[in-house]
Amino acid sequence: MNRTVRLIIASTFFALAAGPIHAAGPEAIEAVPMPDVAIYHLEGRRSERIVWLMEELGAPYELIFERGDLAGSMAKIRAVNPDVPMAPTVIIDGQVLVESGAIIEVILNRYAPDRLQPALHTTDYANHLMWMHFAEGSLAARLFSDYRAWLREPPTERSRLVDSEATVQYAENFLAKNAWFGGTNFTSADIMMVFPLNVATALNIVDVAQFPHVAAWKKKIEGRGAYQRMLAVARPDG
Ligand SMILES: N[C@@H](CCC(=O)N[C@@H](CS)C(=O)NCC(=O)O)C(=O)O
C-alpha cells in the first residue's frame, strides 16, 4: 500500500492581510498573497514548526511525508534536497529552503507581516527575535552536543561554560516574568522553542521538575487549537 501522505490543507485559509493585533516587524511592508507552500516532513521533528505556523495562520499548505516511515519520508526529502536532506525542507513558490527559523521569517515577513511577531519598536520584538534564534543557535546546539558527549562520558559536575542546563534555566527565568517567548503575546518564537525544550526533557538532559514555568508554558501551548491541528496532521499516530 502506498502510504505517502500528501495533504493539501486549505480549509481555514483567510485573508492574511486582514489579521489583527500585532503590527509586525516590517510594518511598512504589505502582505502579498500566499503562494504554494510544500512542507517535507518527518513525524515528531522540526518540520512540525512549519505545519504549526501554517495552522496558526490558517493558511494552505501541502504536507508531504510517508506515514510511520521515517526512511521513506527522508527519501522524499532527499529527492528534492539532495545536498542537505533535512526536515523541514520547504518549497515556497518553487524555491527550496531549509532552516526552520528562516522559513518562518520568510513566511511571516512576506505573506503575513501583521501576524505572530511583536511590533518592531518594542522590547517584546527584540526578545521575540532573540528567542527565535536562541532556539537553534544556543539551545538546540548545546542540548545535542551535551547529549552526545554525556552518552560517552556522563558529567560529574556542572561545566563552567554555558551548558544545556544554563540555556534551559535562561528560558525558565524569562518565562517567570513573561507569558510567552514573544513577551506579552504568543509569537513564532514560541513555535521555535517547543522542539528543543521538549528534547531537553524527553532525552533527560535536564530535570523537568527544575523548570516549572517552562512546564506551565508547555501546558498552554498544548491547549492551542492550532497546535492540536498540527498534531492531528503531522503526528497522526501520536
Ligand atoms: N537548524 C535546522 C535543523 C534541521 C534538522 O537538523 N532537522 C533534523 C530533524 S529534527 C534532520 O533533518 N535530521 C536529519 C539529519 O541531520 O541528517 C532547522 O531548524 O531547521
Q: Which residue has better confidence, 87 or 24?
A: 87
> Ligand 1: distance of its center to the CA of 45 in Å?
8
Looking at the predicted structure, is the pLDDT value of residue 134 above 70? Answer: yes
Listed by start position, the domains of the chain span 4-117, 123-222
> Ligand 1: distance of its center to the CA of 128 in Å?
22
- What share of the chain in percent tops pLDDT 70? 89
Between CA 208 and CA 46 the distance in angstroms is 21
Instruction: List strands edge to edge, sheet with 61-66.
Output: 4-9, 61-66, 37-40, 89-92, 95-97
Between CA 224 and CA 238 the distance in angstroms is 17
> Ligand 1: distance of its center to the CA of 42 in Å?
10
pLDDT of residue 2: 52
Q: Where residue 1 falls among pLDDT bands split at 50, 70, 90?
A: very low
Give the dihedral sign, CA 201/50/103/175. negative
Domains 4-117 and 123-222 fall in the same CATH topology: no
Between CA 3 and CA 18 the distance in angstroms is 37
Between CA 80 and CA 86 the distance in angstroms is 11
Q: Which of 51, 28, 53, 29 is nearest to 40 (CA)?
A: 51
Q: Which atom of ligand 1 is nearest to the CA of 45?
A: 10
pLDDT of residue 184: 98
> Ligand 1: distance of its center to the CA of 225 in Å?
26
Average pLDDT, the chain: 91
> Ligand 1: distance of its center to the CA of 89 in Å?
9
- Ligand 1 pocket test, pick from 86, 132, 145 with the greatest ligand atom count within 8 Å of Cβ, gives 86
HEC secondary structure over 14-28: CCHHHCCCCCCCCCC
pLDDT of residue 104: 98
pLDDT of residue 221: 98
Q: Which atom of ligand 1 is nearest to the CA of 77?
A: 12
Q: Which atom of ligand 1 is nearest to the CA of 99?
A: 20
Annotation: CATH topology of 4-117? Glutaredoxin (3.40.30)
Q: What is the mean pLDDT of residues 100-106?
A: 98
> Ligand 1: distance of its center to the CA of 73 in Å?
13
Per-residue pLDDT tens over the stretch 50-70: 999 999 999 999 999 999 999
Q: Where residue 179 falls among pLDDT bands split at 50, 70, 90?
A: very high
Annotation: CATH topology of 123-222? Glutathione S-transferase Yfyf (Class Pi); Chain A, domain 2 (1.20.1050)
Between CA 50 and CA 173 the distance in angstroms is 27
Q: Which atom of ligand 1 is nearest to the CA of 98?
A: 20
Q: Which of 8-12, 97-101, 117-121 is predicted least confidently? A: 8-12
Per-residue pLDDT tens over the stretch 192-224: 999 999 999 999 999 999 999 999 999 999 999
Looking at the predicted structure, is the pLDDT value of residue 29 above 50? Answer: yes
Q: Which helix (H) or strand (E) holds 53?
A: helix 48-57
Q: Give the number of residues written for the chain.
A: 238
Whose alpha carbon is nearest atom 3 of ligand 1?
99
